Amino acid sequence: MTITTSPQALTIELHGREQFWALRAKVLVDHSSITNMRFEPMFQDWRKWQVRMPGTHAPKLLLAGSYWTEEGWDFLYIKRPIGFLKPKVENVLVIETSQDKYRRLIISVDKKLATGIVKWWKTKN
């Protein structure tokens, strides 16, 4: 996975097997549509319900793809979730947007990369 920023947008580009599991090659988020962005060392803020459409859930390995929730579409690419229904996940970047697709993106990344992306967003606000 490659995450790049430009003055106008954030791009998440998936490669190889990542594309297969997420059923997506690229997600583009306009900078102006981002309402909140943060790194969470332990994520547990799940919606009340979510339906995988399309995507992959391999317990203890991967959550990837598009998920429909009561608040709209979420995009997930999470490695090593702990638990099944409402898993705990370490080291994720959470991006909330005003877009119809996606309202929230939750991506497994290391803290250094996430810090740089959050800084990019905050300097443009």
pLDDT averaged over the chain?
Answer: 87
22 found inside a domain: no
Q: Which of 34, 30, 27, 35 is nearest to 55 (CA)?
A: 27
Q: Is the distance from CB of 92 to CB of 108 less than 8 angstroms?
A: yes
- Asked whether the predicted pLDDT for residue 48 surpasses 70, the reply is no
Q: Is 66 inside a domain boundary?
A: yes
Q: What is the mean pLDDT of residues 38-51?
A: 78
Residue 56 is predicted with a pLDDT of 74
Q: Which two tokens stand for residue 106?
A: 């939750």
Q: What local confidence, expressed as pLDDT, does residue 65 receive?
A: 86
Does residue 87 carry a pLDDT above 70?
A: yes
CA distance linking residue 82 with residue 23, whole number of Å: 22
Our count of domains for the chain comes to 1
The answer to whether residue 20 sits within a structural domain is: no
Upstream peptide bond of 54 is cis (omega within 30 degrees of 0): yes
The proportion of the chain whose per-residue pLDDT surpasses 70, expressed as a percent, equals: 88
Residue 47: predicted pLDDT? 64
pLDDT (average), residues 89-103: 92
For the full predicted model, state whether its pTM sits above 0.75.
yes
Which of the 8 DSSP states describes residue 49?
-
Note down the domain range covering 63.
34-124
pLDDT class of 123 with cuts at 50, 70, 90: confident
Is 77 part of a structural domain of the chain?
A: yes
Q: What's the pLDDT at 52?
A: 62
